[in-house]
């Protein structure tokens, strides 16, 4: 491949992967936006969702639609139960205890998934052709392209939900000031449940697209590790920032994998995003799109 075409291939391939990362990152951002809570277990949520889709396909013999439906029901049920049983009890405690409990749940999910889903294949096969499309000498894999388009549609839908719907307005109000939100008649716990249900659905979509494109199994949980550099770059609560952050990380990984990994014997592409994460924290601790808290007195 000529140099320029190789570069174009890496950029496009990275951006398409970035669109899927964005979905996982948004699962994180939705909860942060509504409750200032940091979910350290996004990777485990996505992993569990991918196992549920896979068992729908291979365990129950459903089609892709049925498997997705099954996983959505399962994940939303888990999310609502987690919110109702665990987080609601911790509501009056410090935020830190809620954050720690997400880590605990992550470990629990990882451990129990290995037992519950033992023996069930984890692959989710692509329903679209595998031969890449070649556009002006640059190969573009069709499954990645389709996955990125689905991810893009979900992101647009989510943007509308937050900025165009009544429930989205309420969630944004809760994120800014819970007292004000309650004072206008918003039921906080009901809206936290809605935010967590969204996490469940986003996990299923991210898991399915991620498994098809990046390979399934427990490795899909690694998607969770990409979330932190993305949201730090994006500024934690900005939808647009998250999308840009995800594309940056996707392309960065792809470029370092293409150019630097062969020189150092591989592996740098996995670390590169963390180098950027640390650099961002040093220069703009509130992210490229986040705003430092300014208060008018």
The footprint of another protein (CB under 8 A) covers: 166, 169-170, 172-173, 176-177, 179-188, 291, 295-296
CB of 108 to another protein, least distance (A): 31
CB of 193 to another protein, least distance (A): 14
Q: How far is CA 142 from the centre of its chain?
A: 21
As a whole number of angstroms, the distance between CA 151 and CA 76 comes to 19
As a whole number of angstroms, the distance between CA 276 and CA 73 comes to 37
Tell me whether residue 115 or residue 294 sits nearer to another protein (CB atom).
294
CB of 178 to another protein, least distance (A): 10
Q: How far is CA 91 from the centre of its chain?
A: 24
Tell me whether residue 95 or residue 177 sits nearer to another protein (CB atom).
177
Q: Estimate the share of the chain in helix, then strand, then coil, as percent rounded to the nearest 5.
A: 75, 0, 20
Contacts of 198 (CB under 8 A, 6+ apart): 27, 30, 158
Q: Within 10 Å of residue 159's Cβ, how many Cβ atoms?
A: 15
Tell me whether residue 52 or residue 173 sits nearer to another protein (CB atom).
173
CB of 186 to another protein, least distance (A): 6
CB of 182 to another protein, least distance (A): 4
Tell me whether residue 183 or residue 264 sits nearer to another protein (CB atom).
183
Tell me whether residue 221 or residue 234 sits nearer to another protein (CB atom).
234
As a whole number of angstroms, the distance between CA 105 and CA 36 comes to 18
């Amino acid at each position: 491949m000529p140099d320029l075409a190789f570069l174009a291939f890496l950029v496009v391939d990275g951006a398409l992967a970035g669109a899927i990362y964005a979905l996982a990152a948004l699962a994180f951002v939705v909860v942060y936006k509504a409750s200032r809570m940091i979910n350290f277990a996004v990777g485990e949520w996505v992993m569990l969702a991918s196992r549920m889709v896979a068992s729908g396909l291979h365990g129950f013999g459903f089609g892709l639609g049925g498997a997705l439906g099954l996983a959505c029901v399962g994940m939303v049920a888990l999310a609502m139960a987690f919110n109702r049983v665990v987080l609601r009890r911790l509501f009056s405690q410090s935020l830190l205890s809620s954050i720690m409990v997400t880590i605990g749940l992550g470990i629990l999910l990882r451990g129990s998934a290995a037992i519950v889903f033992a023996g069930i294949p984890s692959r989710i096969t692509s329903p679209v052709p595998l031969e890449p499309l070649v556009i002006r000498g640059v190969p573009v894999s069709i499954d990645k392209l389709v996955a990125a388009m689905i991810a893009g549609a979900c992101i647009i839908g989510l943007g509308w939900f937050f900025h165009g719907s009544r429930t989205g307005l309420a969630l944004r109000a809760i994120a800014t000031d819970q007292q004000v939100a309650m004072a206008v008649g918003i039921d906080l716990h009901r809206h936290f449940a809605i935010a967590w249900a969204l996490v469940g659905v986003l996990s299923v979509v991210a898991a399915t697209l991620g498994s098809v494109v990046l390979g399934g199994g427990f490795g899909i949980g690694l998607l969770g590790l990409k979330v932190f550099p993305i949201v730090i770059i994006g500024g934690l609560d900005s939808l647009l920032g998250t999308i840009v952050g995800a594309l940056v990380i996707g392309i960065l990984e792809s470029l370092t994998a293409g150019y630097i990994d062969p020189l150092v014997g591989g592996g740098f592409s996995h670390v590169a995003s963390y180098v950027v994460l640390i650099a961002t924290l040093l220069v703009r601790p509130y992210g490229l799109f986040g705003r430092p808290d300014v208060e008018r007195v």
